């Protein structure tokens, strides 16, 4: 079946409504709120989300059963990109990380009782969540098999002990999906289990909000210590010892939705730079008349269009059930670096304005740089991409 690049009329209408919402309501709020969103009041989130609900663009990724629009991966792409035009756009649509990825995972893996308790209030924006997998060295990071947090079986359920860090959205979250080792040792490829736990459970201790380059993630990036955190058997998400498998259910799509959102950021940066090039005069002409500036503008468009095409190809494979590990790694690596290039070029075009607080480019620059690390550093993805290629060659010779 050929990939269709035409979107249904309802999707196109949702994109246009999202663009209008971001332009008329979200960017003005973003401009007024210059502080860190790590410790922003929850009232700000609810204010933005109420406007998105009125506009009919809230939770585009969630099934209609739980109050969303029910868009598949391919149809989400232009909507998420339109939302990503503002740093607060995904938050308004309730499709920001980590909540969006957690909703996707819960819809696929959770029991009906777990969906009612955790998914439904998350989908409606009544709560937030976090995903606790990353650990300080030598624990799980780019290599999840290094998982050191443990969950020990008891007569009443499970007791979790461990140390997590860089857990996005933990401050103010109502619950967490926790990755813990239930068998094997750090380095074992299996033996992980996912657990659902309310963050107010005794033993769930947020130590601090880590200072980071980016400041737009609502709830920040926290360091957490689990000290004899007790949960029941009903807290197990999916099956015991299958946590790494479920992580792939979440990570592939979540990497693509990250790409969608950050592509919107790149589009905004490129638009700001193009407008500047078309109005700013230097050396007796507009900046846009200079060949070097034209090259920067053109390269921005090339990176944006190539990124969009890769995202759609990856989403097509995810929607149709085709093997997607390779294309999602390729897409995540390319888009993360392309977005960085676009914002960097745009800042260069705008010169002193670009590095000032009078334009959003400096802030966008700080926000997009970590994307080359989040959801797998570019180097880890390149290693995985090459390994798959070489492994397939070996299989062909066997």
Query: 306: which 2 tokens?
Result: 């190539």
d(CA 130, CA 221): 10
Domain boundaries, the chain: 9-96, 129-241, 251-397
- In 114-235, the DSSP E strands lie at 129-132, 150-154, 157-168, 175-181, 192-198, 204-209, 221-231
pTM flag (> 0.85):
yes
d(CA 34, CA 25): 16
Query: 274: which 2 tokens?
Result: 């193009």
251-397: CATH topology: Butyryl-CoA Dehydrogenase, subunit A; domain 3 (1.20.140)
Query: 115: which 2 tokens?
Result: 């969906």
Q: What is the pLDDT of residue 282?
A: 86
d(CA 336, CA 359): 22
DSSP code of residue 168 = E
Task: Give per-residue pLDDT as tens, 289-322.
Answer: 999 999 999 999 999 999 999 999 999 999 999 9
9-96 and 251-397, same CATH topology: no
Cα distances from 316 to residues 38, 97, 102, 107, 324, in angstroms, run 34, 21, 21, 20, 9
Choices 3.90.580.10, 2.40.110.10, 1.10.3720.10, 3.40.190.10: CATH for 129-241: 2.40.110.10
Buried b / exposed e along 131-166 (16+ C-beta atoms within 10 A): bbbbbeeebbbeebbbbbbbbeeeeebbbbbbebbb
DSSP code of residue 155 = T
**Residue 243 CB neighbour total at 10 angstroms:** 27
Q: What is the pLDDT along the chain (398 residues), one digit of tens a residue?
A: 566 778 999 999 999 999 999 999 999 999 988 888 888 899 999 999 999 999 999 999 999 999 999 999 999 999 999 999 999 999 999 999 999 999 999 999 999 999 999 999 999 999 999 999 999 999 999 999 999 999 999 999 999 999 999 999 999 999 999 999 999 999 998 999 999 999 999 999 999 999 999 999 999 999 999 999 999 999 999 999 999 999 999 989 999 999 999 999 999 999 999 999 999 998 889 999 999 999 999 999 999 999 999 999 999 999 999 999 999 999 999 999 999 999 999 999 999 999 999 999 999 999 999 999 999 999 999 999 999 999 999 888 75
Task: Give per-residue pLDDT as tens, 342-360.
Answer: 999 999 999 999 999 999 9
Cα distances from 138 to residues 143, 163, 206, 282, 326, in angstroms, run 10, 11, 20, 53, 27
List CB contacts of 373: < 8 A, sequence separation 6 or more.
Answer: none
9-96: CATH topology: Butyryl-Coa Dehydrogenase, subunit A; domain 1 (1.10.540)
Say if residues 84 and 263 touch (Cβ distance below 8 Å). yes
């Amino acid at each position: 079946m050929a990939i269709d690049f035409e979107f249904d009329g309802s999707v196109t209408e949702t994109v246009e409504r999202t663009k209008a919402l971001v332009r008329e309501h979200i960017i003005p709020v973003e401009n007024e709120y210059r502080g860190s969103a790590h410790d922003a009041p929850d009232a700000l989130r609810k204010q933005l989300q109420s406007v998105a609900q009125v506009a009919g663009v809230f939770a585009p990724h969630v099934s209609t059963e739980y109050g969303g629009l029910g868009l598949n991966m391919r149809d989400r792409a232009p909507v998420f990109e339109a939302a990503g035009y503002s740093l607060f756009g995904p938050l308004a649509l309730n499709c920001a990380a980590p909540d969006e990825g957690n909703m996707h995972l819960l819809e696929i893996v959770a029991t009906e009782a777990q969906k009612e308790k955790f998914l439904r209030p998350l989908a409606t924006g009544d709560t937030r969540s976090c995903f606790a997998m990353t650990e300080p060295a030598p624990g799980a990071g780019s290599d999840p098999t290094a998982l050191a947090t443990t969950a020990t079986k008891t007569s009443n359920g499970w007791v979790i002990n461990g140390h997590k860090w860089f857990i996005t959205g933990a401050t103010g979250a109502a619950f967490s999906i926790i990755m813990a080792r239930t068998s094997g040792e750090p380095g074992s490829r299996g033996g992980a289990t996912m657990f659902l736990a309310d963050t107010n459970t005794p033993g769930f201790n947020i130590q601090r909000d880590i200072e980071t380059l980016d400041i737009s993630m609502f709830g920040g990036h926290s360091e957490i210590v689990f000290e004899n955190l007790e949960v029941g058997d009903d807290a197990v998400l999916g099956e015991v010892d299958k946590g790494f498998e479920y992580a792939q259910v979440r990570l592939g799509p979540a990497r693509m939705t990250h790409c969608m959102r950050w592509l919107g950021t790149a589009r905004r940066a490129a638009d700001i730079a193009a407008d500047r090039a078309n109005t700013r005069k230097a050396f007796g002409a507009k900046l846009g008349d200079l060949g070097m500036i034209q090259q920067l503008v053109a390269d921005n468009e090339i990176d944006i269009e190539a990124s969009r095409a890769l995202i759609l190809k990856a989403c097509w494979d995810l929607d149709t059930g085709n093997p997607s590990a390779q294309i999602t790694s390729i897409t995540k690596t390319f888009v993360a670096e392309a977005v960085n290039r676009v914002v960097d070029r745009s800042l260069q075009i705008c010169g002193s304005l670009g590095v000032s607080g009078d334009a959003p480019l400096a802030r966008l620059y700080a926000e997009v740089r970590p994307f080359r690390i989040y959801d797998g550093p570019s180097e880890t993805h390149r290693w995985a991409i090459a390994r798959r290629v070489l492994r397939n060659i070996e299989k062909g010779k066997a």
